[in-house]
Amino acid sequence: MTALIVGGLGGIGRALVARLKNEAPHLTVLQSSSDGRENTIALNLLSDDSVDAAAQHVEQLFGKDKGLRLVVNCTGMLHTESNGPERSIRDIDIEFLRQNLELHTLGWARLVKSVSPMLIKTVRQEQMKPRIQVGQKIRFWPPCRPV
């Protein structure tokens, strides 16, 4: 079986990948990356073509019937070099807000749409996304245990 960890090379994603590999060694863990590392696939959540190509790549590697057991999105953008966290309503930059919505909302929807046909049908399908607030521990909703 296969797990796809989007953002698996970032801090949270890397920790999740390590835990999955430790606790479920039979699971093939794919991470999104553009650097060509082993067990990575190229994936840009801002591009329909990239997300569809990544889904097709997963299907070619593992087949549609074996499919995915787990898909987790660990991507996130709190701020960039030019845009810091907003401290007040006056600090909101509409274009930066648009980029955030594109990545965090539409990007996840693109991914779910493309990979949902490969999710194993006998497994309860739930969307799991880390809920993170600066300075707080990571929580997952719905609560879950590693596979």
Total-model pTM: 0.70
The whole-number average pLDDT for the span 63-78 is 77
Instruction: Report the C-alpha gap between 93 and 83 in whole angstroms.
Output: 8
Comparing C-alpha atoms, which of 58, 27, 62 is closest to residue 43? 58
Measuring CA to CA, how many Å separate 63 from each of 1, 5, 58, 72, 112? 10, 18, 7, 19, 17
* Displacement of CA 53 from its chain's centroid (Å): 15
Is 68 within 8 Å of 115 (Cβ atoms)? yes
For 28, the token pair is: 């093939």
Q: What is the pLDDT of residue 49?
A: 94
If you average pLDDT over every residue of the chain, what do you get?
A: 76
Comparing C-alpha atoms, which of 2, 143, 144, 141 is closest to residue 71? 2
Instruction: Report the C-alpha gap between 13 and 126 in whole angstroms.
Output: 18
Window from 6-10, 34-38, 114-118, 142-146 with minimum mean pLDDT: 142-146
Instruction: Report the C-alpha gap between 72 and 5 in whole angstroms.
Output: 5
Q: Higher pLDDT residue, 125 or 49? A: 49
